[in-house]
Structure 1
Amino acid sequence: MKRDHSPVLPGDGATDYARYMRLETLLDLQRRPEQVVHRDELLFQVVHQAAELWLKLATAELTEAAARLDADDPAAAVPLLDRATLGIRLVTDQLEMFRHLAPEDFQAMQPALGNGSGAESPGWRHVQSASRRLGRAFADHLTRQRIDLSALRARNPTEPLHRLAEAMVEWDERVALWRVRHYQVAIRIGGHGVAGTAGSPANVLVRLIDHRFFPELWRLRRNAAAATADVAAS
């Protein structure tokens, strides 16, 4: 018996796949051929729009991870943070598409961008806010459990709280790597002066590269490494 594939979901589109994914809206979010000033605008928009979607997902995962910590369930927070981190890796990987965008082509499309800048990304702002929220939830959980942060490295590495701390460091590192790659792209195709050049947008990117959401966890690792080195030297 032939299966009926007629759509049953409400919305626009000839299939339920198109309706659920809202494809007509999604594929209409890029500038139309008669609007573009350079053909590579499609490449530029797809990369950035996809990044905003991955950042939206990462924010949702971070927010839920913080909620799980509020409920004193660090084990449940770990896979959520891992998913957010993978989203940032994918945001970083897709920047490779800009290898196919020459500086002169980027300059040709510049009028279409107006005064827009990646620094205005709502996805990035939401990720920042959610990361700070996770940091506060982690600190509050330690307080409720009467766990001193300095003793965290001595705990069993298979324990959920230890794994969560490692996942938070991994998140921080992946975000920094994304910003490094973004900086390199800005220098390569954007015509920005290198960091230190007066008025260069690259200066903002460099400050973001050095930022850490969870500096206390990085200090903990440095202190542990220093203590190990001291023992080895004695």
Structure 2
Amino acid sequence: MTELNHELIRSIEAQGNSDYEIYLQTKQLLSLQTSYEQLCNPDELQFQIVHQSEELLFKLLNHTLLEIHKNLLEQNVNKILSLFQRAHLAQSNILSIIELLHTMSPKAYQEIRLKLGNGSGQDSPGFNIFLKIAPILWKTFKKIYLENSDEKIEKIYNSNFNHCDTYLIAEAFLELDDKYNKFLYFHIKLIGRSIGLNAYSLKGNIVSALNNRISRSLFPELLEIRSQMTALWGNTYGVKRNSITPEQKVDAVL
């Protein structure tokens, strides 16, 4: 390593003297990655930072979900929707960070993999806590907004649809679910790009089995109601429709 590189590496390490550094504990934060001299290759630093950043964002996401739970109990609709927006943005940032790893070559990852033991993304504490909080949140929503009133999922989406607060909160849950599914999809695509979909994980499991997770829903009732509505529509107007006639095309233009 040249003297210039040594100097640059030293400048990256925070001194921790300014108020900014003290408050954010940057000296400790930037010491949590493997030292430059001990990296198996330059991409290992990116690999660590991406996964550490994911855990920090999951911490924010999970803390936000706990705040949503508190406000669900208090029926503070505006706060609930505002917090859901934050949660969705945290999820979006996790997805964006994952894409950084697309710049890592398969060869570089094979070298990094030697240092991972039998570690797996499925061991992520932030992700696993999220999976525990989400159903609790949904149960509370149903109890407060559905079971304690005469509202039902079918009513707020179909027979009594009026874009009410309960509907908006339910759609915020669906957005949380959608981004969860995207996270699973991004994860399996990353695996495909790094070790291949026919490979085995460090725990000895076939990677392709993870494909079964992608279609899972945290809140399946929100998807089922859409299928039910479409089935009812089909019963009324026909499942298979005729093509638009020339006369209908003219009427549409006019």
What TM-score do the two structures reach when normalised by structure 1? 0.87
- 1:194, distance to aligned residue in structure 2 (A): 6.9
Correspondent of 1:155 among 145, 158, 161: 161
Correspondent of 1:180 among 157, 160, 185: 185
Instruction: State the one-letter code of the partner of 2:152.
Output: D
- 1:29, distance to aligned residue in structure 2 (A): 0.8
> CA–CA distance in 2 between the matches of 1:208 and 1:33?
36
- 1:162, distance to aligned residue in structure 2 (A): 0.8
Specify the alignment match of 1:201 in structure 2.
207
Instruction: State the one-letter code of the partner of 2:108.
Output: D
Specify the alignment match of 2:99 in structure 1.
96
CA gap of 1:17–1:229, structure 2 versus 1, over 3 A, is farther
Computing the radius of gyration from Cα coordinates, the structure with the larger value is 2
Instruction: State the one-letter code of the partner of 1:152.
Output: I
- 1:39, distance to aligned residue in structure 2 (A): 1.7
Specify the alignment match of 1:8 in structure 2.
none
Matched, 1:64 2:67: yes
Correspondent of 1:220 among 225, 230, 233: 225
- Structure 1: where are the runs of 5+ without partners? 1-11
> CA–CA distance in 1 between the matches of 2:197 and 2:222?
33
Matched, 1:137 2:140: yes
Matched, 1:47 2:53: no
> CA–CA distance in 1 between the matches of 2:236 and 2:96?
40
Superimposed CA distance per residue, residues 156-211 of structure 1 (whole angstroms, 9 cap, x where no aligned partner): 21x2211111111111011101110110110111244179xx931341x3233122
> CA–CA distance in 2 between the matches of 1:16 and 1:228?
62
CA contact (8 A) 1:186 1:202 kept: no
Instruction: State the one-letter code of the partner of 1:149.
Output: I
CA contact (8 A) 1:55 1:123 kept: yes
Instruction: State the one-letter code of the partner of 1:116.
Output: G
Count residues in correspondence.
Answer: 219
Instruction: State the one-letter code of the partner of 1:151.
Output: K
Specify the alignment match of 1:6 in structure 2.
none
CA contact (8 A) 1:103 1:191 kept: no
> CA–CA distance in 1 between the matches of 2:66 and 2:212?
25
Q: Secondary structure at the match of 2:38?
A: coil
CA contact (8 A) 1:36 1:112 kept: no
Correspondent of 2:21 among 18, 22, 38: 18
Instruction: State the one-letter code of the partner of 2:191.
Output: A
Superimposed CA distance per residue, residues 20-49 of structure 1 (whole angstroms, 9 cap, x where no aligned partner): 111111111111123222221101011111
Q: Secondary structure at the match of 1:115?
A: coil
- 1:120, distance to aligned residue in structure 2 (A): 0.3
> CA–CA distance in 2 between the matches of 1:22 and 1:160?
41
> CA–CA distance in 2 between the matches of 1:210 and 1:126?
20
> CA–CA distance in 2 between the matches of 1:146 and 1:25?
53
Q: Secondary structure at the match of 1:68?
A: helix
Q: Secondary structure at the match of 2:214?
A: helix
Q: How large is the Cα RMSD of the aligned pairs?
A: 2.0
Matched, 1:233 2:249: no
Specify the alignment match of 1:164 in structure 2.
169
Q: Which moved more, 1:47-56 or 1:27-36?
A: 27-36
Q: What percentage of aligned pairs have identical amino acids?
A: 28
> CA–CA distance in 2 between the matches of 1:82 and 1:232?
37
Matched, 1:119 2:94: no
